[in-house]
A and B are shown apart, each in its own frame.
Chain A
Amino acid sequence: MTTAQFPTLAESGLSPEAAELVTGPDEHPIHPEHTPTGQLAFGVFFQGVNSSTIWRLPSSGDQVAWESFETLIRTAERGKFAAFFLGEGLRLREHRGVPFELDVAGRPDAQTLLAALAAVTKDIGLVATQNTTYNDPVDLARRLQTLDLLSAGRAGWNIVTTDNAWTGENFRRGGYLDHADRYTHAEAFVQVAEQYWRGEQVAHDGAHYSVRAQGDLPRSAQGRPVLFQAGASPAGQDFAARTADVIFSPHGSLAAAVEFRRSIVERTVAAGRDPGSVKILPGAEIVLAPTEAEAEEKIRWVRDLQIGPEQAIALLEQYWGRDLSEFDPEGPLPDVPPEVVESGVTRGSGFQFAKAEELTRQWREEAAQKGQSILEFARAKSGSRRGAFTGSYDAVADRLVEFARLGAIDGLNITPWLIPSGLDDIVDHLIPRLQERGVYPTEYAGSTLRENLGLPPV
């Protein structure tokens, strides 16, 4: 593995944007307690349910077929990706009370699929997004440990806390958990899982349940599954700083990533942990082309295919709470008041509340100011929510080098916008350039996910 001798940050010619963010010497460029490894690890985030996956092209593959997953994970392993992630949503997304028809929907159970993928891969980590609110901790811990043993130490758990009662309608307990309690609940849940993994007697009596069990499976090659956390609120960050090995954060600019790193370093130190023991992997889309101009054209093409006219109208309907089908997607935002007090974002993990009256007024003003149609506005909104590294192969590689050298991130969790071929140009064109620049592994560091993420042993 390369632990290249870097030129100093000054010598390497940081961009003005990056140079402005440096506050310390090269060993601690952005925070006195944080030393960049200068290395990046990639994960692939197979969301399976959302508008980021383009389903309209002839090359859009089947979203549930085994062959799609097998092709994608083999490409990722060829590119020395550290991890293969699966998202989770425990109720089919709905729009105005009807299953949402316009985006890709429906996916296999994450762990069941990963247990099978473990049989056709050797090195790549296998990470399941699994919810703490609607699982039983001992059952989930046992499944994850089984996956860890089946894969010889490659399992990971992306801990999410989605708690709404609407999702609860699929489960025994229903909507039993207050939003405010989601992380205290999650923390107790993870403690139970950790006891189980250590082979201890579990005797938990908490606010929500009492469970008894005996951990009886052998330790895996990496000690226990790697813990990822996805949740960006302050409570979520504190939970991650106390508990997680890796944070799966929303993507932002370099400045936002530096700020997020500083926030996590502070919280990790406050929790009494070494800040190097919590890695940050933002989710990101990557749109590449041989030249900058082609890449510009390509991202527009991608966004057009992700958000069609119907999706643009549907996006607004979530906030207006009413039928907007009579409005022209090429025209201005609807000049009618919303029919709801709070927005009900197409339900799923992105559920959020916003004051509809205020938000819709703001949006009308914003779109009018920018001269955007409904369609342009919707594409800009969902694009900015996702964030993307767009550019020529070399330009994207150079930008990522800056992220690595400042230590803003430890890698990316990449959402391919096409299944199953969406990683091909990343593996064929971007990764070799990152390897040449000494920021990306040329071989797997070890056989476990922990090793391949550069995490200290448990």
Chain B
Amino acid sequence: MSTTAPTFESTRAGAAPGTSPTGDAGAGVLPVLAVDLVTAPPLLDGLAPLARGLEEAGIGALTLSDGGLHPIHVAAHLAPLTRGLGLLPRTDAVYVEPFHLATQLMSLDHISHGRAGWLLQAETDPSAAAAVGRDLLGLEATAREAADVLVAARRVWDSWAPDAVVRDTERGVYVDASRLQYADVEAETFSVRGPAITPRSPQGLLPVLVADTDRGAVGERASTELVDGRVLDLDVSGGARAEQLAARIASARDEGATGSASTVVRLVRLVGLDLEADPLGTARELAAELRARDLVSGTSAPGRTLRELLGLPEAPFDLDPARRADRARLTREESA
């Protein structure tokens, strides 16, 4: 498919194709190449052919940035229209109801058969606070809250065991409460009891990433300790030259090789792709060139989860005895 032969030696000579040389925490594969779509209403004209075309052009994921239409809805709409693309809405963690946000994202994961992820963002625009009747938080409080909401969302996602729906016709039991756990989140500015109103989604824990441009607002804790990896943003609004982009990816990859798991570049995001011009042609060309240089992974494959595409291990499920959802019954049985 690639018509352009690599123009310079792979900087990773010796590494097996499709694997990263870093070999550190969880980094087993090349980053996924994503295109960012801004959800302005005109995007709706020709959205389906655009998404399918990008998928065929070798793009591995789409990120949806807020341009008016709700990014989670647009991502959900794209799920049945695409086959293997990762779908990552970029959406605020702060001026939202954490329980709703968690439910919406895990629902996106069900609908897309495990292709959902979250580009966590922290709003610093006063209008976002005013829209929900809250005061704008200071920078530190914003960062604390973004981290708290991320932790809460994971608690909600993780509140049903994968095998909680038992459909036991003998006992007449549909869902086994001993395989559910409360979220029991008591954060500084909110609390969430749980469990989820949605069964565990295919990935269990959705990959959570923070775009480079959002790291400042999201803060240190969420964007370094809590996330599943790094996003490298490449602005292609002024045109894109594959050599320059390749150099940026290579250097970000080398930085990631020495840091923690969260510094491993999982997603390379093309931002500002001109949708009026020839977006599919540009995407196809860049995808081919970057793949030929072994800098991004191959085409997304239907049937694989986003965690798999990003090289993240399967999310484990652990039942926390203190949060068991059947604790009231256990207490009754003990006292009886």
Contact among B69, B160, B326 for A98, CB-based, below 8 A: B326
Known: A115-B76, A209-B133, A212-B127. A217 touches B176 (CB 8 A): no
> What is the CB-to-nearest-CB distance from A205 to chain B, in angstroms, rounded to a whole number?
9
Q: Is the CB of A171 within 8 A of B74?
A: no
Q: Among B27-35, B163-171, B215-223, B243-251, which stretch is in contact with chain A?
A: B163-171
What mask results when residues 78 to 93 of chain A are scored 1 for a CB within 8 Å of chain B, else 0? 0000000000011110
Known: A99-B175, A99-B195. A213 touches B131 (CB 8 A): yes
Q: For the complex, give the distance between the alpha carbons of A105 and B96 in Å.
A: 25
Is A116 an interface residue, CB under 8 A from the partner?
Answer: yes
Q: Is the CB of B97 within 8 A of A136?
A: yes
Known: A101-B176, A143-B70. A92 touches B195 (CB 8 A): yes
Q: Is the CB of A98 within 8 A of B328?
A: yes
Is A103 an interface residue, CB under 8 A from the partner?
Answer: yes
Q: Is the CB of A146 within 8 A of B103?
A: no
Which residues of B lie under 8 Å from residue A174 when comparing CB positions?
A: 191
Q: For the complex, give the distance between the alpha carbons of A143 and B70 in Å.
A: 6
Is B25 an interface residue, CB under 8 A from the partner?
Answer: no
Q: Is the CB of A64 within 8 A of B180?
A: no
Report the interface size for chain B: residues with CB under 8 A from the other chain. Answer: 60
Which residues of A lie under 8 Å from residue B329 when comparing CB positions?
A: 96-98
Q: For the complex, give the distance between the alpha carbons of A241 and B195 in Å.
A: 36
Is B317 an interface residue, CB under 8 A from the partner?
Answer: no
Most chain A beta-carbon contacts within 10 A, residue among B72, B108, B111, B130: B111
Q: Is the CB of B70 within 8 A of A97?
A: no
Q: Among B12-20, B77-85, B296-304, which stretch is in contact with chain A?
A: B77-85
What mask results when residues 55 to 96 of chain B are scored 1 for a CB within 8 Å of chain A, else 0? 000000000000011101110111111000000000000001
Q: Among A252-260, A308-316, A410-418, which stretch is in contact with chain B?
A: A308-316
Q: Is the CB of B198 within 8 A of A64?
A: yes
Is B138 an interface residue, CB under 8 A from the partner?
Answer: no
Which residues of B lie under 8 Å from residue A98 when comparing CB positions?
A: 177, 325-326, 328-329
Contact among B74, B97, B174, B325 for A134, CB-based, below 8 A: B97
Q: Is the CB of B328 within 8 A of A90?
A: no
Known: A98-B177, A169-B193. A139 touches B172 (CB 8 A): no
Is A445 an interface residue, CB under 8 A from the partner?
Answer: no
Q: Is the CB of B325 within 8 A of A107?
A: no
Which residues of B lie under 8 Å from residue A213 when comparing CB positions?
A: 127, 130-131
Known: A90-B197, A217-B68. A212 touches B175 (CB 8 A): no
Known: A108-B198, A213-B130. A115 touches B173 (CB 8 A): no
Q: Is the CB of B180 within 8 A of A99?
A: yes
Q: Is the CB of B73 within 8 A of A105?
A: no
Q: Is the CB of B196 within 8 A of A106?
A: yes
Is A342 an interface residue, CB under 8 A from the partner?
Answer: no
Which residues of A lie under 8 Å from residue B131 when comparing CB positions?
A: 136, 138-139, 211-213
Q: For the complex, give the distance between the alpha carbons of A111 and B103 in Å.
A: 11
Report the interface size for chain A: residues with CB under 8 A from the other chain. Answer: 63
Which residues of A lie under 8 Å from residue B160 when comparing CB positions?
A: 106
> What is the CB-to-nearest-CB distance from B271 to chain A, in angstroms, rounded to a whole number?
22
Q: For the complex, give the distance between the alpha carbons of A139 and B81 in Å.
A: 25
Which residues of B lie under 8 Å from residue A310 when comparing CB positions?
A: 171-173
Q: Is the CB of B171 within 8 A of A115?
A: no
Most chain A beta-carbon contacts within 10 A, residue among B131, B165, B329: B131
Known: A98-B329, A169-B191. A104 touches B111 (CB 8 A): no
> What is the CB-to-nearest-CB distance from B194 to chain A, in angstroms, rounded to a whole number?
7
Contact among B74, B78, B176 for A146, CB-based, below 8 A: B74
What mask results when residues 94 to 130 of chain A are scored 1 for a CB within 8 Å of chain B, else 0? 0011110111111111011101101110000000000
Is B252 an interface residue, CB under 8 A from the partner?
Answer: no
Which residues of B lie under 8 Å from residue A111 when comparing CB positions?
A: 73, 104
Q: Is the CB of B172 within 8 A of A112?
A: no
Is A72 an interface residue, CB under 8 A from the partner?
Answer: no
Known: A120-B80, A209-B133. A103 touches B174 (CB 8 A): yes
Q: For the complex, give the distance between the alpha carbons of A104 and B325 in Å.
A: 17
Q: For the complex, give the distance between the alpha carbons of A99 and B197 in Å.
A: 10
Q: For the complex, give the distance between the alpha carbons of A169 and B197 in Å.
A: 13
> What is the CB-to-nearest-CB distance from A36 to chain B, in angstroms, rounded to a whole number?
37
Q: Is the CB of A147 within 8 A of B103?
A: no
Which residues of B lie under 8 Å from residue A170 when comparing CB positions?
A: 99, 192-194
Which residues of A lie under 8 Å from residue B196 when comparing CB positions?
A: 92, 106
Is A70 an interface residue, CB under 8 A from the partner?
Answer: yes
Is B100 an interface residue, CB under 8 A from the partner?
Answer: yes
Contact among A55, A64, A149, A323 for B167, CB-based, below 8 A: A55
Closest A residue to B133 by beta carbon equals: A209
Q: Is the CB of B97 within 8 A of A172?
A: yes
Known: A66-B80, A107-B197, A119-B77. A211 touches B172 (CB 8 A): no
Q: For the complex, give the distance between the alpha carbons of A309 and B41 in Å.
A: 53
Known: A99-B325, A102-B173, A106-B175. A115 touches B198 (CB 8 A): no
Q: For the complex, give the distance between the alpha carbons of A174 and B196 in Å.
A: 17
> What is the CB-to-nearest-CB distance from A322 to chain B, in angstroms, rounded to a whole number?
10
Which residues of B lie under 8 Å from residue A136 when comparing CB positions?
A: 97, 131-133
> What is the CB-to-nearest-CB distance from A318 to chain B, in angstroms, rounded to a whole number?
15
Is A337 an interface residue, CB under 8 A from the partner?
Answer: no
- Per CB-CB distance, the 4 closest pairs between chain A and chain B, nearest first, are A97-B328, A209-B133, A108-B107, A212-B130
A-B contact pairs, 29 of them (CB 8 A): A64-B198, A66-B110, A90-B197, A92-B197, A98-B325, A98-B326, A99-B180, A109-B100, A109-B103, A109-B107, A109-B198, A112-B107, A112-B108, A113-B76, A115-B73, A120-B80, A138-B131, A138-B132, A139-B96, A139-B132, A150-B69, A150-B73, A170-B192, A172-B97, A209-B132, A211-B130, A211-B132, A211-B133, A217-B68
B residues in contact (CB < 8 Å) with A: 41, 44, 48, 68-70, 72-74, 76-81, 96-100, 103-104, 107-108, 110-111, 113, 127, 130-133, 160, 165, 167, 169, 171-177, 180, 189-199, 325-326, 328-329, 332
